[in-house]
């Protein structure tokens, strides 16, 4: 991953490069390999790079295309950039680098905002149109890559994490009552555009925010999930084949765009074990896998090594096993929390932080099974919701909400209690 930051002045004054420079140290862990800045009147940009594709200086960011008058800072990976590059070359564009960053610039010039629809991958980027004097903030379809911004009367600042925005100062740090309601009722999830701080917003997945120097803004949704009922004419075996094909394609895409080795975070569960099997199908040899475990407790085991060991034996991976004692977890807990862009309460949050730290010393890119339960309905509440009669919102609330609005109201300060924001939002979404 990389880190991006920037400021656009809205009051006619030039942007101060020192503001962006104050944000970059908070992004250093995201991009340890390179740092760059850019200033152009009302706009300043900053970038911290983790080199994955095109490791040369030609892929340095911010990337400036003088001929097209476009400047880009980008975090993420575009899996179909080779195909887009070939198409753009056929349209007459030439390239000086070999990665996906420059492809975004040429695609934006060729197709404008519609270029976002053509990008297959995970991404957050800011692109500055010097001729039009417009800044465009763009986030991928599912919000895999983060993009936060702090709006103010005289400027708009943005960054890959909240820590960078806080470092720049001037953020309204009062609690957002809407976000707090979401946080305490939706498993600590706060949907965009809210964050727990009133002065920091986040760009919604699948959206483009255009900001002009006069302060006017335009928010455009470029993608919507098309949820459809399954085709009843397809039998179980055909579904298995279709899912297998789709998963293998996803794995292959993530393999072919990296100029560095790729490993797997292997818990031993179905999702990560399946990744190892698919990578083996794709011909990967000497695959590196990584597992973390903790001390056992009377009520449960602290690791799943027996399951990950079976996968390692089956596919002969180059396995790395980390055992972290409890006193280390407690000692590092404040640090893990400090590095969260937003509060997380899942029990594996610290585990992922400590595992990632260890893995980063050996490899730069890993695949993981994160998100599979959401895509395939793996959580226990999905079948329970489906099995019960009644209104959709009631079934959803009964099995997913952490607490009722009444319980929420009894547990927070009275000035933070307003409406039942969570029920209102979920009701609206279920009607769409």
Q: Are 124 and 76 in contact (CB under 8 A)?
A: yes
- What are the tokens at 225? 């999930």
Write out the DSSP string of 123-191: EEEEEEETTTTEEEEEE-TT--S--EEEE-SSEEEEESSHHHHHHH-----SB-HHHHHHHHHTTT---
CA pair distance 279, 287, nearest whole angstrom: 8
Interaxial angle between packed helices 392-400 and 421-431, expressed in degrees from 0 to 180 and rounded to the nearest 10: 130
- Provide the 8-state DSSP code for 46: E
Q: Are 125 and 138 in contact (CB under 8 A)?
A: yes
- SS3 state at 68: coil
Q: Are 99 and 66 in contact (CB under 8 A)?
A: no
- SS3 state at 235: coil
Closest C-alpha to 425, from 385, 393, 386, 390 = 393
CA pair distance 189, 221, nearest whole angstrom: 21
Catalytic residues: 2
Residue with token string 């407790």: 297
Give the chain's radius of gyration (CA, Å): 23
Q: What angle do CA 327, 362, 74 make, to 5 degrees?
A: 105
């Amino acid at each position: 991953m990389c880190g991006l930051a920037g400021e656009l002045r809205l009051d006619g004054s030039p942007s101060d490069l020192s503001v962006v420079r104050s944000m970059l140290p908070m992004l250093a862990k995201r991009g340890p390999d390179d740092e760059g800045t850019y200033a152009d009147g009302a706009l300043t940009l900053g970038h911290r790079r983790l080199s994955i594709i095109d490791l040369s200086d030609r892929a340095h960011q911010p990337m400036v295309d003088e001929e097209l008058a476009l400047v880009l800072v980008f975090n993420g990976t575009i899996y179909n950039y080779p195909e887009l590059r070939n198409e753009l070359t056929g349209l007459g564009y030439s390239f000086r680098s070999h990665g996906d960053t420059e492809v975004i610039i040429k695609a934006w010039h060729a197709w404008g905002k519609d270029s976002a629809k053509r990008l297959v991958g995970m991404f957050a980027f800011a692109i500055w149109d010097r001729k039009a004097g417009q800044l465009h903030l763009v986030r991928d379809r599912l919000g895999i890559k983060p993009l936060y911004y702090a709006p103010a009367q005289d400027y708009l600042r943005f960054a890959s994490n909240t820590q960078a925005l806080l470092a720049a100062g001037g953020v309204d740090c009062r609690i957002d009552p809407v976000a707090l309601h979401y946080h305490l009722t939706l498993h600590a999830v706060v949907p965009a555009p809210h964050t727990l701080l009133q002065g920091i917003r986040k760009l919604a997945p699948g959206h483009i925010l255009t900001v002009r120097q006069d302060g006017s803004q335009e928010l455009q949704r470029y993608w919507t999930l098309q949820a459809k009922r399954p085709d009843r004419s397809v039998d179980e075996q055909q579904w298995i084949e279709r899912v297998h094909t789709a998963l293998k394609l996803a794995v292959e895409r993530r393999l072919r765009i990296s100029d560095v080795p790729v490993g797997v975070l292997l818990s031993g569960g179905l999702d990560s074990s399946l990744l190892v099997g698919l990578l083996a199908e794709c011909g990967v040899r000497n695959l590196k896998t990584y597992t973390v475990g903790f001390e056992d407790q009377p009520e449960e085991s602290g690791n799943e090594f027996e399951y990950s060991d079976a996968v390692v034996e089956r596919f002969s991976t180059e396995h790395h096993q980390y055992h972290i004692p409890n006193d280390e977890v407690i000692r590092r807990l404040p640090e893990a929390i400090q590095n969260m862009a937003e509060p997380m309460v899942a029990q594996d949050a610290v585990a992922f932080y400590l595992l990632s730290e260890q893995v980063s010393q050996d490899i730069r890119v890993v695949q993981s099974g994160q998100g599979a339960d959401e895509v395939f309905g793996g959580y226990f509440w999905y079948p329970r919701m489906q099995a019960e009669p009644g209104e959709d919102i009631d079934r959803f609330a009964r099995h997913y909400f952490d607490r009722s609005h009444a319980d929420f109201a009894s547990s927070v300060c009275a000035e933070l209690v307003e409406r039942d924001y969570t029920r209102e939002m979920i009701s609206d979404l279920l009607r769409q």
